[in-house]
Structures are given as C-alpha cells and as structure tokens.
Amino acid sequence: MNDLYLKFAMKPIMLERRSFEWLAAHMASNKAFKPIKPPMMHGASNGMAIIPIQGILTKRSGIFDGMLGMTSYDEIQKQISTALSDDAVQTILLDIDSPGGETSGLFDLADFIYQARRQKTIWAVCNDEAYSAAYGIASSAEKVFINRTSGVGSIGVIASHIDQSAFDEKQGVKYTTVFAGNRKNDLNPHEPITSESMQILQSEVSRLYAMFVELVARNRNLDQSAIRSTEAGLYFGVDAINAGLADKILTFPECIQKAFDQSHMRTFAMTETVPTINPDELLTQGKIQGRSEYHAEALELFRLCKLSKMPEKLGDFLEQNIPVNEAREQLMQLLADRTGTEILSTVSLEPTPQENPVIQAAKARSQMKLTA
C-alpha cells in the first residue's frame, strides 16, 4: 500500500468528487507526479505575502508532498504565522488551487485564519479551483476573489469503503483477522462492509458535514440553510457570487495589484501624522503629504528662506502653495525693501564675500530702485 492509501483509506474527507475518483485510481496505480509547488512568495518589500495552497490538502507534511502535489494544513498555518509576525507585511494573499483534502486539521486552520483577520488583511484568490476543504480555507478569509472560470463550492464530506475481498479471492489470498472489541474490525477492506459499520461511517460523515456547514455559514455570514441548499454543488464565476460564496471577479494579477494597493494604503494610514510645520522638518512634511513634486519644491523653498534669513516665511509659502519662482520674487522684494533701509543708513552696497547670493541680488535690486 502506498502513502496515499494510508492517508485516506476509509477516512471521511472533503474532496471534490472528480478528485476523489482520481485519488481512488491513484491508490490502485501508485503513480502520479506533479511539479513541486512553489515556495511562499514573501513580499516584504511590497507589503504583502502570497501563500500558495495547491493540490490535495493533508494534516501534516510528508516527505513526498511536493512531488505528489500536496499541501499540509500545518505548513499553511506556519507560513501565515510568519507573515503575521513580519511588520513589513500588511496583506496576506492565499493563492488557492485545490480540490480539497482531509477533514482532520481543516477546522483548526480555518479558525486560525478567521481570527488572524483581526491582525492583518487576509484575502483568498481561487486561482482555478477551491473546492470542499480548500473552500473551507478560502471562506475564512475576509474576501474571496475568483476569475471568470474559477470554481468554488463542493461543501460536503465524502467517505468510501474499498471492498477488495473479491479481488483477494481471485488472487488466491485469504485474510484472517484476529481482534478484540466489536468495532475494531469495522471497515476492513478485505471484507464486505457490515450494516453497523455503514451506519457508524454515515454518522461520522453527517457530523463533519454539519460542522462544515456551520463553518462556512459563519465565515461568509450566511444562513446554514443557504449553505445546505447548495447540495455540495460546484459554482463558477458570477454564479458563485450570486450564491454568496465569492465577492468579486478578478484575474490573479488584478488581485495582486489590489493587495499591493491595500498594503500601501494601510501602511500610509498607520504612519500618517500631521506634524508642526517648521523649517527643520520640511522634508518630513513633504513625505507625509505624499507629494513627490512638492518635496523637491519644498526643499528649494527651504533653501531660499534660509538664505534670505526669513525662515518664518516658509510656513506661509507652504500653506498657500506658492511656486518657487513666485516665492523667490517675494523674498527678493522683501529683501530689497529691507536692504534699502540699510542702504539709506549708509550700509555699503558692495557685496562682501561672506554674503549669500540672495542677499547680493536683493542689494543690487535695491540699488537699482534708488538710482531710478
């Protein structure tokens, strides 16, 4: 028996029907290799983390999960925790392409994501399919985005008993099982299933289904009756939105751009303050107001006011959005008037080497006014 058989045989799972059939076939053939899934793209520089959730979902990581196209709930939670603890990350994007998987571990992960929404923005992108357990994860995010052909839903639980007793007989193999405890031999694949075992299995499937319906109803703020009415069906595009299972149709690049914008808006909102205007904090003010062109002009205004020895004019220029050229003219005029008084008081009109160019120009302008 291969690893997949040991993981899933006779256990209730949350898996879209077609994938369930593929899994059963895989157990028999013991072949199926998919590309190793990409690692988490941790976008600390752009304020977001993209976490891939792909393939069949399992409780714990296995050594061959990557080759078999699987993702574990433990690994997903670990990556989300890393993003939550990173101050550079403001938005977490769950990139989901999965038919579902094990029930064990799903509810704990879904609750973890649901609670983590209080700390940071968490969105889910159904980047092709998010069925069954995968949709349970997606629904726990604040928003669920899909593209026009994405599929969501399959909100149900399925289990299967594999009776290979006829096959064993053809192979000339006979199993004799010794056990203690009436239920210990339930669901033995080498014997037909008993009615009692069937009832027990159905009871567990129904219990997990009720938990699943309650989970999705809470996450999507819907009545449980609305979730049950889907009958574990698949919903695509606009139909998914109309059913309340998704929020908006966006392509994956559009989702990334939206998450990028969200991250920067949140970062800006968290850092935005209104400082007291003074000449020494000019550059800080320019950055806070978010105007790059203003930043360069403000620097020039600061330089002119400082050279003119009139730093008190800076606040007026900034508040009135006075252009640099106009501010320069005003400063020159003020300096010329002020320098003219000094000239009439017999201050030398010849510029000294220590005088800055603004003062020199103002004295020259004042001299022209006096001789005109």
DSSP string across 3-54? HHHHHHTT--EEE-HHHHHHHHHHHHH-----PPPPPPEEETTTTEEEEEEE
DSSP string across 315-369? HHHHHTT--HHHHHHHHHHHHHHHHHHHHHTT---SPPTTS-HHHHHHHHHHHHH
Active-site hit among 34, 78, 184, 369: 184
Burial 16-50 (b: 16+ CB within 10 A, else e): bbebbeebbebbeeeeeeeeebeebebbeebbbbb
Query: Structure tokens of 343?
Result: 């000239």
Active-site hit among 98, 132, 139, 140: 132
Pairing of strands 48-58, 70-72: parallel
Q: Is the dihedral of CA 200, 205, 208, 214 positive or negative?
A: negative
Query: Structure tokens of 313?
Result: 């004019």
Examine the residue annotation and report whether 184 is marked as an active-site residue of this protein. Answer: yes
Burial 64-75 (b: 16+ CB within 10 A, else e): ebbebbbbbbeb
Residues with a known catalytic role: 132, 184
